[in-house]
Amino acid sequence: MIRRESFFPVLLALLWGFNWPAIKIVLQEFPPFVLRGIGLGSASLLLLAVALMLRRRLRVERASLLPLLVAGTLNIAAFNIFTAFAQLSTTTSQAAILTYTMPIWSVVLAALILREPIGREKVMAVIIGAIGIGLLAIPVFKSGQTLGIILPILAALAWALGTIVLKKWPLKGDPIATTAYQLMIGAAISLTGLAISGEALPPAVSAKVAGAFLFHIVCATAGAYLLWFTILSRNAASTSALLSFAVPVVGVLSAMLLVGDRPSLTDIAGFAAILAAPALVLRSSLK
């Protein structure tokens, strides 16, 4: 019988994949720090409300406070801020693709720091995924848009390091509560950036942007991050990271549909390679 958890990576890929064009749409009217401050803050409050309704324990053990702060800073604040500014510097497809070099960094860091074993199939998955991302990243390097390359890679590194932190020092507390607190840390850092930058709320918000923002808060932030941290707690860091290889494919396809991105033949070859990577990991996990 297929376990319910087997569908978690598929659902996560859909939520985070469609989040890329949703963010592009929101950025048409909201500046980056405003977007992240409101989005992360609202998602954290939503999860805390759910935790209270379910009567979950909100307290986090003292030993987990520092890992919680570090993970919130890396996994949430740095990742979300870098990806928001990246979408202003390059196309949605290119930003999504380069950000998902994260699984490659995670597998390497997990081997170096956590001493996680890397089997043949994971090595093959990393190589195939790297080839796919490399094919999709070619237009970015040809364009010479430096920030369009640097910011997504910084986001990938931050996410990878945050993943390693949570595997080395697992958080002791209810997963809904700990996810909410990490989002709250990200919101606090984003609001600090907002105060420094002087960004302001838009004078008016269109229905299209409001709908994209609502999807981003409820589904792609509150729901997807809870799903991600659940996957991370039940799998090795390298396996969890590699399972996310399908996200940029969904992101690029949804960007084609919603914001008009058009992939080349090289992009299509990259899609095929990236889809093969999580398939190998799932096969390894089932074994």
Reference 96, options 147, 152, 158; nearest CA is: 152
Q: Is 30 helix (H, G, I), strand (E, B) or coil?
A: coil
Short-list 275, 236, 221, 230, CA closest to 253 = 275
What's the CA angle centered on 238, arms 242 and 43, to 5 degrees? 70
Which string of DSSP letters, residue by residue, matches 150-211?
Answer: HHHHHHHHHHHHHHHHHHHS---S-HHHHHHHHHHHHHHHHHHHHHHHT----S---HHHHH
37 closest CA partner among 190, 225, 184 = 190
Position 4 confidence tier, pLDDT thresholds 50, 70, 90: low
Asked whether the CA dihedral 175, 176, 182, 186 is positive or negative, the reply is: positive
Is residue 287 very low, low, confident or very high in pLDDT (cuts 50, 70, 90)?
A: low
Tokens 């958890």 locate to 5
The CA dihedral of 207, 88, 197, 22, to the nearest 10 degrees, is 30
Question: Which pLDDT band, with edges at 50, 70 and 90, does 5 fall under?
Answer: low
In angstroms, rounded to a whole number, what is the distance separating the alpha carbons of residues 254 and 129? 20
Per-residue pLDDT tens over the stretch 89-141:
888 888 888 888 787 788 778 878 878 777 777 788 778 878 887 887 777 77
Record the tokens describing residue 193, joined without a space: 């950036």
Residue 94: closest CA among 275, 259, 223 = 259
* CA gap 230, 13 in Å, rounded: 14
Summarize pLDDT for 206-260 with one digit per residue, the tens.
999 999 999 999 999 999 998 888 887 777 666 666 667 778 888 888 888 888 8
Q: How confident is the model at residue 26 (pLDDT cuts 50, 70, 90)?
A: very high
- Digit-coded pLDDT (tens) for 55-77: 999 999 889 999 999 999 999 99
Question: How many CB atoms are located within 10 Å of the residue 167 CB?
Answer: 21
Which of 279, 152, 169 minimizes the C-alpha distance to 232?
169
Parse the chain into domains and list their residue ranges. Answer: 4-286
